[in-house]
Structure formats: C-alpha cells, structure tokens
Amino acid sequence: MSRRSDRLDWMFRSRKTGRITIGQPANLEQKIFSGATLVGVLLPESKLRTGVGVVAVLALAVWSVDEVARGVNPFRRIMGGMTLGGLTWLALRRPRRP
C-alpha cells in the first residue's frame, strides 16, 4: 500500500466499524440545525426569528463538540473542530456597525 493510500485510510477509516466513513445519516442536532435554519429564512425579521437562529447555532455547536469528542475517524473530528472554530470566530469578532 502506498503512503498516500495509508494516509487516506487513516483519515477516513471508522475506528468503530473498520469501514470507510465520510458521510453518515443526519443526527438529531443536524436535523434541528437544518429545520431551524429553514424556518429562520422563512420568517420576517423579529424576536422569533432571532430565537430560531439561536436554536440553530446552539444545535450546530452541540453537533461540532460531539464530533470532536466522538467522531468515528479523524476526518469527522477535524470537520467538527473546524465548525466549532468557525462558530467561535463568529462569536468573538467585532460586531458590524449599522
């Protein structure tokens, strides 16, 4: 086996099943994030829309922490870490002035 295929195997091989895992069926957090995002897009600007947006971000944060902690392979853990890093960056950046 070549070094490249060894690295790809290491990156995508599930530590639980031994199979290559890139995508998985959506879990509860992903479904909540998707649903809240869709609802938020359809709502007019209001406190309800803001609340739905908070629910979406919290669901995405829970998903990303779970992937970092329990992802089945390094690819999934990296994806969770990048998402968590992006959410952290968005939370800490200077707000725009109107």
Residue 97 domain-assigned (yes or no): no
Span 23-57, pLDDT tens digits: 888 999 999 999 999 999 999 999 999 999 999 99
Provide the domain count of the chain: 1
Residue 59 domain boundaries: 3-92
Residue 97 has pLDDT above 90, yes or no: no
Residue 19 domain-assigned (yes or no): yes
CA 76 from chain centre, in angstroms, equals 9
Residue 61 domain-assigned (yes or no): yes
The pTM is what? 0.86
37 SS3 class: helix
Closest by alpha carbon to 51, among 34, 63, 66, 39?
39
Residue 96 has pLDDT above 90, yes or no: no
